[in-house]
Structure 1
């Protein structure tokens, strides 16, 4: 067993490397390597990765890593080895859950913070793009106007990265 290599792309290893308090600096470095300057973090708090169910029949989702940056922004970091289909929908679902879970009854919408999803994929998910790192926002179709700034989804497709190097 000694000498066996640990694959950081496996969920358990990824969470052990980036999702534990003693390695918080590694997670901060990962986030800062991916996001833009305005979303850089100097500190963060690891959050419970379970997205609570509001109703008995709601789907339980467990994120790989959920964190809150020093500026209040929320982060969901996922590693996915195999393409199980519909990853685009899963990424949006995780984002929406993290976004909507921020408010409690009677709280003002102004309290909502930006949620950033970072999805590291070991497969090609976006065949229409040759880039290995794509950043998605909601924009107006014709003008490209960005009005909804609280949504940001990053996909990092490792297969494309390997091909590019």
Structure 2
């Protein structure tokens, strides 16, 4: 595989992470005269403040998930690649990803966060995190399944 983005005379900004921070930066760079490359492990942005609504069956996942290519479809000098960052060589200004290498003039790491269980292995094993759409869907399915089972209980 390859990144497959033609290098031009413009400065290149590579943004790793398409969450709220990475998305905002990509938006703010519109019209800057720079080549913007967004790299994310998913090909969609999800709006985290409403993930609880998915877990509680208030809205559908498609209500808070938006494809990056649709968001930036009319942008010139904007590129999206679905990949994971693997290594940064700051001396050579190269980012190694799961699909190849890309050189950059500016690199922004906006990869987000993970759930912190503060070393409590029991909670980590049994808790159901709710940071992503798949996690919220798992929680929603567990809740709805329990409600369905509760309807069949006589006491």
Normalising by structure 1, report the TM-score: 0.26
Normalising by structure 2, report the TM-score: 0.28
Which gives a bigger RCO, structure 1 or 2 (Cα 8 Å, sep 6+)?
2
Bigger radius of gyration, 1 or 2? 2
